[in-house]
Amino acid sequence: MSRIIAACNQKGGVGKTTTCVNTSAALAAMEKKVLLVDMDPQANATQGLGFSPQDFEEDLYDILTQAEGDVTKAQVRHFVKPTSMPFLEVLPCSRSLAGLEVQLITQPLREKRLMRVLEAVRDDYDFIFIDSPPSLSMLTLNVLTAADTVMIPIQCEYYALQGLAELLNTIRLVQQNLNPKLSIEGALLTMYDSRLNLSKQVAEDVQNTFSEKVFKTIIPRSVKLSEAPSFGQPIILYDALSSGAMRYMELAKEIILND
Ligand SMILES: Nc1ncnc2c1ncn2[C@@H]1O[C@H](COP(=O)(O)OP(=O)(O)OP(=O)(O)O)[C@@H](O)[C@H]1O
Ligand SMILES: [Mg+2]
């Protein structure tokens, strides 16, 4: 049975996309069949895997607009693209996804579009990762409704915990109204710098907030991790021996054990 994991945090630049791309690639390197779904109109995950949002005539936007009616596996597979890793596929997006936000407001099943799309293909995969935008918008509601679990990347910086109460409240509302099976996979500390007291302080605060729901793996601040997207490669292809690559492999193992 596959697991659908969403990376969510309405704070921008905390490592959602970096985590989705690199955890997906690490699991694919372990021969787990993975689909990465790009639900952020910035299309950073699409680009991080080496595509340009203009590469595709149709993308996630088109299948989500079609998902008002029944969605078949063949329909969705038409939009899924192979990547340079044999076990990793992507459902790419482009800026047009931003328009869906407004379009969906008056439409039926507006929070359930992505769920319907992913239900049609989930038995093809071991893991489906969903990258989400830095907002608590209709797109994010779709993400939380489609997911089994949420991982919450938290950047080890000042203000890291600001806004988390709002995110946790949104997760609770989705559990009550749209997706009762939704649970928290874990909080993930990102861009950790062991030389900084601030990083240690944030780690302690996160531990206090999430108790056992914090990943043991901590992602360090690493130049290699920030360079890899400009080569359109996950870190495991860009520099497999870097600390970032090794930590994302560790994280992937932790996620497998969470099952
Ligand atoms: N561990 C890390 N070490 C160094 N740089 C990192 C690390 N993780 C992410 N970055 C860099 O920080 C920036 C923000 O990361 P990322 O795009 O993953 O965040 P995000 O939460 O997806 O942002 P957004 O909210 O805009 O979607 C990027 O330039 C990325 O390359
Ligand atoms: Mg992002």
Q: What is the pLDDT of residues 36-94, one digit of tens each?
A: 999 999 999 999 999 998 899 999 999 999 888 789 999 999 999 999 999 999 999 99
Give CA–CA dist 167/175, Å, rounded. 12
Average pLDDT over residues 144-163: 93
Tell me, in angstroms, the distance from the centre of ligand 2 to residue 107's CA.
26
Q: Decide if 125 contacts 1 (C-beta within 8 A).
A: no
Q: Is 190 a pocket residue for ligand 1 (Cβ < 6 Å)? A: yes
Average pLDDT over residues 173-185: 96
Q: Whose CA is nearest to atom 30 of ligand 1?
A: 226
Asked if the model's pLDDT at residue 189 lies above 90, the reply is yes
For residue 19, the ligand closest to its alpha carbon is 1
Q: Is 11 a pocket residue for ligand 1 (Cβ < 6 Å)? A: no
CA dihedral 54, 58, 59, 61 (to 10 degrees): 110
Q: Whose CA is nearest to atom 16 of ligand 1?
A: 15
- How do strand 183-190 and strand 149-155 relate by DSSP bridges? parallel
Backbone angles phi, psi at 183, to 5 degrees: -140, 170
Give CA–CA dist 52/49, Å, rounded. 9
Q: Is 18 a pocket residue for ligand 1 (Cβ < 6 Å)? A: yes
Q: Is 16 a pocket residue for ligand 1 (Cβ < 6 Å)? A: yes
Give the confidence band of 196 by pLDDT, cuts at 50, 70, 90.
confident
Q: Whose CA is nearest to atom 10 of ligand 1?
A: 226
pLDDT at 32: 98
Asked if the model's pLDDT at residue 169 lies above 80, the reply is yes
Q: What is the pLDDT of residues 92-109, one digit of tens each?
A: 999 999 999 888 888 878
Tell me, in angstroms, the distance from the centre of ligand 1 to residue 225's CA.
9
Q: Is 179 a pocket residue for ligand 1 (Cβ < 6 Å)? A: no
- CATH code reported for the domain at 3-257: 3.40.50.300
Asked if the model's pLDDT at residue 113 lies above 90, the reply is yes
Q: Is 40 a pocket residue for ligand 1 (Cβ < 6 Å)? A: yes
What pTM did the predictor assign?
A: 0.97
Q: What is the pLDDT of residues 119-147, one digit of tens each?
A: 999 999 999 999 999 999 999 999 999 99
